[in-house]
Each structure stands twice: as C-alpha cells, then as structure tokens.
Structure 1
Amino acid sequence: MKKIVGLVVLLVFVQQLANAQKNSIEWHSFEEVIEKTAENPKMILVDVYTDWCGWCKKMDRNTFTDPKVIAYVNENFYAVKLNAEDRKKKFEFKGEEYNGQTMARQMKVRSYPNFVIMDSAMESITQLPGYREPDNFVSSLKSLLENFAH
C-alpha cells in the first residue's frame, strides 16, 4: 500500500512539473540558441536585466507569467535571459568570448529591462526598452515579426 501511495505522489509531482514547464517561457542560453537556430530558424528574444531592477522583476512576475505571452514567445522565439552585470558566466558567441556584462555592452543596452530582438542569423535588429504589460508586449512582438520575419 505504501508503494502505491508513493507511486501516486510521484506521478502527481511529475505531472505538475510537466504542466509548470508548459506554463512558463522556455529560457535558453546563447549556446543553446545557436544550436537551435541551426536546426529550426527562429528569431531570438533576449531579456536583458539586472538583479537590482524593479521593473525587470515586475516583468518576470506579471508579463512573463501571462499565458498569452508564454504561448506567443515559446511559439515564435528562442528566449534568452541575460544579466547585464554578470561578469562570471562566460560563453562563446560568433567566435568571441563574452559574459553578461560584455554582451549587454556589445548589444548597446543602456536601460533595463530591455528586450533585444535578433534575427535567426543572430544579428540584432531592434530593441524594446522598458517595462511592458502583457498585451502590449505581445502586440509589440507581433509587429516586429510582421516587419522583420523572413
């Protein structure tokens, strides 16, 4: 009987974990995005944030948890979170070594939150600076896709 109860608890936990993954944006590293765009080209959404940024935290709490935002971003973009002050985690991008701080500088990000949109060739095409409510965020992304998708 204990084994059955344990198995049921495990199954419920696994189901909740699977649902949680569907109910959140799939964040990737730059390395993962490079591989993924080679297999299935999509535009890239880079969320450039800092730990001290209150509006960044509000984006995480309000906008990035909205089901419309989650569905739209996961379907149309590869999403990357980039801490603009991180100097520790290093990664390679287009043959150069970066950390969060040097990459944010390379992308010319000067305010937070800021969303850098890159095409499938990993070239920056525009930025969406500042906090955005869910509906505004989705409509901004839709406009971008209509104008820049190839």
Structure 2
Amino acid sequence: MKYIWSTLLVLLSVVSYGQKKAIKWYTFEEAEALMKTHPKLILVDIYTNWCTWCKKMDRDIYSHPEVIDYINEHYYPVKFNAEQPRPVTFNGITYNVTKRKGRSFNEMTLYLTNGQVSYPTTVIFEKGLAQPYPYGGYLELYQMESLLVYYAEHYKGDKSDMNTFARNYKFRWSRE
C-alpha cells in the first residue's frame, strides 16, 4: 500500500510539473462579477483571428512566466475578439455587432480604443471601471512590464506621470 501511495505521489508531481503556466482569461461578464467581491484592475487584450501581431503577442508576451504571474495576481484579464459575432454587456451597457468598411466588429472595440482601432490593443481599466486606457500595437516585454506595474502599483487616478514612470522604471523581469 505504501508503494502505491509513493508511486501516485510521484506521478502527480510529474504531471503538475509538466503543466505549463497560463493566464486565466475571463469574459467581460465574469470579470465584472468578480470585481463586485474582489476588486482588481481589468486588462483587456483586443485581437482578431487574422492579426499576425496579436499572435506574436500571445506567443512572446502573454506566455512569458513573469507576465503570467503578474497578470493573474493583479488583474482580471479579458481576451476580446473584436470581430466576435455576439453582443457583449459590460458595466450596464450592451455593445452590438456592426459593420464598418465591410468588416463586422463589436461596437465595444470603439469604446475600448477611444475610436482608435488597431490590433492588438491592450486596455487597462482601473478598479472603478470608469475609463479605459488603451495602448495600441504590439508591446515589447519591457513595455508590458512597465505598463502592468505602473497601473497595479503606482497609478493614483492621473496617468500624466506614466511616461516619467516608464523612463525611470528599473526592469526586473527576465528577458527570456
């Protein structure tokens, strides 16, 4: 019996060791519900299925171990396909699907990007969900680190000091 338990314990540790860490992505609805009981910042990754830079960001940035740990600890991350075919309700407003220049997209994309649509776009919502702060384009690891740390640890309701923070920030994540 002792042999069986020992073998089982070894197998479980090998299986859990082999599992890759990943960001725990939520829907807008899930993130909003979680905010009511345990407020955190919300990070939104806006992407499309055809976007090459979005895929590169998934592969290089959102799979980085320190990015994964930091986002899972400090944010409710939402992965949002801008061209998804169904309405989304967030913060009491329903955003529908519409067409623009021959492409279907969810109107929430315009709201999240302040009308400056590009893919990928990383959006940060403060805990009160008052205003989205979009950052368009591919973000390098050092840019993502300073952005995440700024909002989670230094932001005080005025993002005017973001550039100063980013210039003076001492990076601590490995550059794998």
TM-score tier by shorter-chain length is 0.7 to 0.9
Task: Pick one of 110, 113, 132 that aligns with 1:105.
Answer: 110
Q: CA deviation at 1:16?
A: 5.9
Matched, 1:143 2:150: yes
Gaps of 5+ in 2: 97-104, 158-176
Higher helix share: 1
Does the aligned pair in 1 maintain the 2:88–2:108 contact within 8 Å? no
Task: Give the one of 23, 38, 41 matched to 1:40.
Answer: 38
Q: Provide the alpha-carbon RMSD of the alignment.
A: 2.6
For normalisation by structure 2, the TM-score amounts to: 0.69
CA distance in 2, matches of 1:78, 1:138: 16
Task: Answer yes or no: is the 8 Å Cα contact 1:86–1:101 preserved in 2.
Answer: yes
Larger Rg: 2
The 3-state SS of whatever aligns with 2:22 is: coil
Alignment match, 2:23: 25
Q: Runs of 4+ in structure 1 displaced over 3 angstroms?
A: 10-14
Q: For 1:131 and 1:29, how far apart are their aligned partners in 2?
A: 22
Superposition deviation, residue 11 in structure 1: 4.5
Which residue type is aligned with residue 129 of structure 1? G
Are the structure 2 counterparts of residues 102 and 16 from structure 1 closer, same or farther at C-alpha, using a change threshold of 3 Å? Answer: farther
Q: In percent, how many aligned pairs have the same letter?
A: 38
- Cα distance in 2, alignment partners of residues 132 and 109 from structure 1: 16
Residue 95 of structure 1 aligns to which amino acid in structure 2? Answer: G
Alignment TM-score, normalising by the size of structure 1: 0.80
> 1:68: how far off?
1.1
The match for 1:72 among 70, 73, 77 is: 70
Q: Structure 1 residue 105: deviation in Å?
A: 1.8
Number of residue pairs the alignment of both structures matches:
141
Shift in Å, 1:94: 2.4
Runs of 5+ consecutive residues of structure 1 not aligned to the other structure: none
Compared with structure 1, are the counterparts of its residues 14 and 123 closer, same or farther at alpha carbon in structure 2 (3 Å cutoff)?
A: farther
1:42 Cα offset (Å): 0.6
